[in-house]
Structure 1
């Protein structure tokens, strides 16, 4: 990545217990030329990594009556969902501070609304290691962050704006119809005010600066891989809510469908400087969709990069967009009116990542954007990326003085033909019924 001439000022709203690293340019010694941001859906850290060595996890929680609840295992692919809206965040947090959602007691998980066929105390669950073995292997071979939080406190619509813009114009929860500009001016989304009260609705189509707009201005290439808008995973295509991209030729040239096209592109020698990859229904890890293909899908993406000439110059971030209503014992730090949300998994892979490291430094969704910005000389977009710690400065995640490590294949990966057969089977199916927005 190019060196940056000047350090960027960061406005920070603070937060007790926050570990802030000095934010400085990466410099010319950084060998990373490509950043791949893989975004999966709706899992808390504790749900996927219970018992991971060196990480903070907990095998029990408490409900709002004070009763201790032992976590029970559920398979990865389930057909029930849990509310993960702002209301669910405030209930699960059970905060005693002001504004609401602060000084969390973390005992209100049983108060979250659950979908049809959900087991009793559905939030108090974990996924067995065998169901998510590729994720554990990636963490063991590379690095895992156990203090990573969603930048926003609600669900996927807002979260998917944070992965490209570090901001969502104060929007909260979900639009009334479409998830972006396609719905027109009558497609609106609620807002959350700075005192965490609900405000007026606004159109679900934004004009915010994004990583893409800054990259275009700087001559940095980018691609966003997502399902088609009418596909089962199309609502996770972030730039549909970004007017400058959606209403321009960039929507046709830079937003690529289906996501499995990434595997062919890399094999053919094409990898943008900045890449986002979002899932389809079956590959999402999202509760409620019967989605059991996520670990194999992510392993396939990682293996495609690892087998390519791009490996020695690529950093891969795998992060889940929100907690999905699932129990986690770590209290979120209050940074701003819309975050932080609950803890989510973050796996970091690169040839310069120490093997088996667990970092306890605080990260958030916008930390990946901070890494991109500092590496490519882009300015911060909003408060969340300006305050976010840069993973490049964490020796548990990157050691750029070390020789690049050879890639180790991740077990469970499938070829491109397999994913295209899944796409042909499910790509034209109606989107699944969504009890709680996404």
Structure 2
């Protein structure tokens, strides 16, 4: 290495170490807050570790519609108005369910011409369990912001089948009694009125989990603004009957039109993070830690976000927290490769691949975690961790006070690229490890789903705001302190998790949290 380059490199290393040491001092307050005393409520103070496990894309009826004592499929079937699907005119009741438009797999051909009602996927008239059972990946179903609202149709839930690229599959459900998590739900508390925080997909709902906010930019990337119908304010559709073809949306993009009040466009469907790991590679000869800021089209990245998150409010009170993600370290390496090299981990659906989903990592969108800044690098090291770190901390009893865990793509239960049972077994194993941890006697575990994945649910979402809530999703609460063998009918949504953490640690409330939703206190004994 030439002398001048060596001197520059040494200088940069020394400067970085000086900054790092200075910033590290900020993380060691002279008078740290004792998390055991942050709440004035003695019952809550017994909970010292909150763990949130966030699975993927299942409505309540899809997995727990047959759960004893829950408001499930039987209640839906008792009232035809809660399940009969209507055509795109909003009036005509379909004589049968539409085909699964987005799949040529003959195992799913049985869906076409089924009666217009919910059906069990893993039972007759479907194929054998090996063809369509919960251990087989089904076709994916559209689950996007505007589409979801069109499916809900003002709370009638009667246009799921006609506004889905998977047609009648949207009405399918499983007998979940074989799931390990079902058995845990029987022993602890299952909530049957827990709603996804925002309409649409995983990207937006992960933001609502950590900040109760919708990400935005001053100007949407070129060509990425949704084309809406002037009358409905939802997507423009150019399709005839839902029995004849899949819906066609000429402008189903990821940003809203610019808001007249805030002068910002909101990212409501998947947009890639500005930092690695990202589905957008680094720029050629650019900083490998960053996604290409000049990428166009669907690869265009979201600008770094600055809204306050639950992580910020926890840090303000010096409460330790972490987001653990399956395959995080592998994805970091994968994302920093030269852009001309294929990704082996990020969005790789190949057999045996982790299939890391970049848009499932919400903190990686925030400027606080910019890896190109010394402070951002420190924040990432402190709070964004790998599944291997999670296992170590569980075993050693060193989990922070608030934990978020996101399974890797192959284990998250998402239709289209994985199945129900593999993710169920993985999450149940994680719960078992947590129950064996030294921290278990003072632990509270939440296992829930980001969104419905395009699957129908018979319960109308409660009134909220322009962003949600959306459809019901499963939520299971596991702790020495929760009610046992209990079904909780309290109305919750994803922001209830933020409410619970905020109440437990006496944090500054986040403005987007819906105070009309419960705060999970009713799950406690």
Instruction: Settle same-fold status: TM greater than 0.5.
Output: yes
Which of 472, 477, 482 in structure 2 is aligned with 1:353?
482
In structure 2, distance between residues paired with 1:157 and 1:282: 17
In structure 2, distance between residues paired with 1:321 and 1:220: 24
Question: 1:284 and 2:412 equivalent?
Answer: yes
1:43-86 deviation line (CA, Å, top 9, x unaligned):
00000002211111125521113243231314333241011101
| Cα shift at 1:264 | 2.6
Question: 1:91 and 2:161 equivalent?
Answer: no
SS at match of 1:369: helix
1:298-334 deviation line (CA, Å, top 9, x unaligned):
1111111111221111100011000000010000112
Partner of 1:42: 57
In structure 2, distance between residues paired with 1:91 and 1:379: 35
Structure 1 288/204 Cα, relative in aligned 2: closer, same or farther at 3 Å?
Answer: farther
Structure 1 275/189 Cα, relative in aligned 2: closer, same or farther at 3 Å?
Answer: farther
In structure 2, distance between residues paired with 1:298 and 1:246: 30
**TM-score normalised by the chain length of structure 1:** 0.75
Structure 1 185/130 Cα, relative in aligned 2: closer, same or farther at 3 Å?
Answer: same
Instruction: Compare CA radii of gyration and give the structure with the larger one.
Output: 2
Q: Report which stretch shifted further, 162-171 or 341-350.
A: 162-171
SS at match of 1:109: coil
Partner of 1:262: 390
Which of 456, 461, 468 in structure 2 is aligned with 1:327?
456
Say if 1:152 and 1:340, in contact at 8 Å, map to a contact too: yes
Structure 1 245/189 Cα, relative in aligned 2: closer, same or farther at 3 Å?
Answer: farther
> RMSD of the alignment, in Å?
2.4
Partner of 2:367: 243
In structure 1, distance between residues paired with 2:392 and 2:508: 32
Partner of 2:206: 160
Partner of 2:67: 52
Say if 1:94 and 1:107, in contact at 8 Å, map to a contact too: yes
| Cα shift at 1:204 | 4.5
Say if 1:186 and 1:203, in contact at 8 Å, map to a contact too: no
Question: 1:311 and 2:440 equivalent?
Answer: yes
1:86-105 deviation line (CA, Å, top 9, x unaligned):
1321221122xxxxxxxx22
| Cα shift at 1:186 | 5.0
Higher RCO (CA-CA < 8 Å; seq separation 6+): 1
In structure 2, distance between residues paired with 1:183 and 1:387: 38
Partner of 1:366: 495
In structure 2, distance between residues paired with 1:279 and 1:83: 21
Between structures 1 and 2, the one with greater helix share? 2
Structure 1 125/175 Cα, relative in aligned 2: closer, same or farther at 3 Å?
Answer: closer
Question: 1:398 and 2:524 equivalent?
Answer: yes
| Cα shift at 1:383 | 2.4
SS at match of 1:32: coil
Structure 1 243/187 Cα, relative in aligned 2: closer, same or farther at 3 Å?
Answer: farther
Say if 2:58 and 2:449, in contact at 8 Å, map to a contact too: yes
| Cα shift at 1:213 | 1.4
Say if 1:91 and 1:111, in contact at 8 Å, map to a contact too: no
Kindly report which structure 2 residues correspond to 1:103-114, keeping only aligned pairs within 5 A, or say none.
104-114=155-165
Partner of 1:81: 140
1:215-242 deviation line (CA, Å, top 9, x unaligned):
2221111111113244322321121111
| Cα shift at 1:29 | 5.6
Partner of 1:406: none
Kindly report which structure 2 residues correspond to 1:413-432, keeping only aligned pairs within 5 A, or say none.
none
In structure 2, distance between residues paired with 1:385 and 1:184: 35
1:230-263 deviation line (CA, Å, top 9, x unaligned):
4322321121111112441111232112x24422
In structure 2, distance between residues paired with 1:378 and 1:151: 20
**TM-score normalised by the chain length of structure 2:** 0.63
